């Protein structure tokens, strides 16, 4: 799962870089800038395809059951939009490369304008990704625990022993919520049943 958060920033930054180089090319139509712009778009496309893959095939399935209902719906939208963006950026890069190879500035400029559109939608996609983690991602235990500690006046006023007790109670509460969401209560019952069966055998 960690690979998606670690790489997602490339998918957000590289379309911006490609857009900047594209705008520079539109101002200064040199062959060098044409090549740089087209190659930047290609690198951005490769990054977006990679990030889409890590999200859909690795991170998404791992966190799905930890999300509330609204978070699950947003995750599915996030997945679909990520797929469309990866395809769109690949097409945009191809258009720019064709324009560069044919030395047709009109084709490349069209590709650059599309790159800017993809960049804008990618930033929106990043916003939705953040919402999935920080708004719908309950129970992400450490996030909840940090929020509890920072917003709890009783915790600030408590002595060390009381703080430990409060943290233990919160962790227990969070763990219970996690079990309700991912069905580990059923797993625990099965585990207890297996232990009882072993005891009966003895």
pLDDT digits (tens, 9 = 90+) for 149-195: 677 766 667 776 776 777 777 667 766 665 555 455 444 444 444 44
Which alpha helices (H) appear in 103-140, and where do they start and end? 105-134
User: Rounded to whole angstroms, what are the CA distances from 61 to 51, 53, 68, 121, 140?
Assistant: 14, 12, 14, 23, 15
CA gap 142, 158 in Å, rounded: 20
Confidence (pLDDT) at 176? 66
Predicted local confidence at residue 57, as pLDDT: 83
Q: 67 near 136, Cβ under 8 Å?
A: yes
Cα–Cα distance measured from residue 36 to residue 32, given in angstroms and rounded to the nearest whole number: 6
95: helix, coil or strand? Answer: helix
Phi-psi region of 28 (alpha: psi -120 to 50; beta: other; left: phi over 0): beta
Can you tell me whether residue 30 is helix, strand or coil? coil
Residue 139: the pLDDT is 45
Give 3-state DSSP helix, strand, coil % of the chain, rounded to 5. Answer: 90, 0, 10
C-alpha–C-alpha distance, residues 50 and 31, integer Å: 29
**What are residue 95's phi and psi, to 5 degrees?**
-60, -45
Residue 180, pLDDT score:
58
Share of the chain above pLDDT 70, in %: 69
pLDDT at position 130: 77
Intervals of the chain under pLDDT 50: 139, 182, 185-195, 197-200, 202
Structure confidence at residue 120 (pLDDT): 94
Q: How far apart are CA 148 and CA 134, in angstroms?
A: 14
What pLDDT does 185 receive? 42
pLDDT for the residue numbered 143: 57
pLDDT of residue 137: 58
């Amino acid at each position: 799962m960690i690979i998606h958060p670690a790489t997602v920033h490339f998918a957000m930054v590289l379309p911006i870089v490609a857009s900047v180089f594209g705008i520079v090319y539109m101002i200064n139509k040199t062959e060098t800038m044409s090549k740089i712009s087209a190659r930047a778009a290609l690198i951005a496309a490769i990054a977006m395809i990679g990030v889409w893959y890590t999200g859909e095939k690795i991170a998404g399935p791992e966190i799905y059951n930890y999300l509330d209902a609204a978070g699950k719906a947003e995750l599915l939208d996030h997945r679909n939009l990520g797929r469309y963006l990866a395809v769109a950026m690949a097409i945009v890069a191809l258009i720019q490369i064709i324009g560069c190879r044919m030395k047709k500035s009109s084709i490349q400029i069209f590709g650059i304008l599309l790159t800017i559109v993809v960049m804008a939608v990618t930033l929106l996609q990043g916003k939705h990704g953040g919402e999935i983690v920080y708004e719908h991602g309950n129970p992400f235990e450490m996030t909840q625990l940090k929020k509890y500690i920072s917003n709890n006046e009783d915790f600030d006023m408590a002595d060390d022993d009381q703080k430990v007790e409060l943290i233990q109670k919160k962790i227990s509460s969070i763990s219970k919520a996690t079990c309700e969401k991912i069905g580990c209560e059923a797993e625990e019952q099965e585990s207890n049943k297996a232990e009882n069966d072993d005891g009966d055998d003895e």
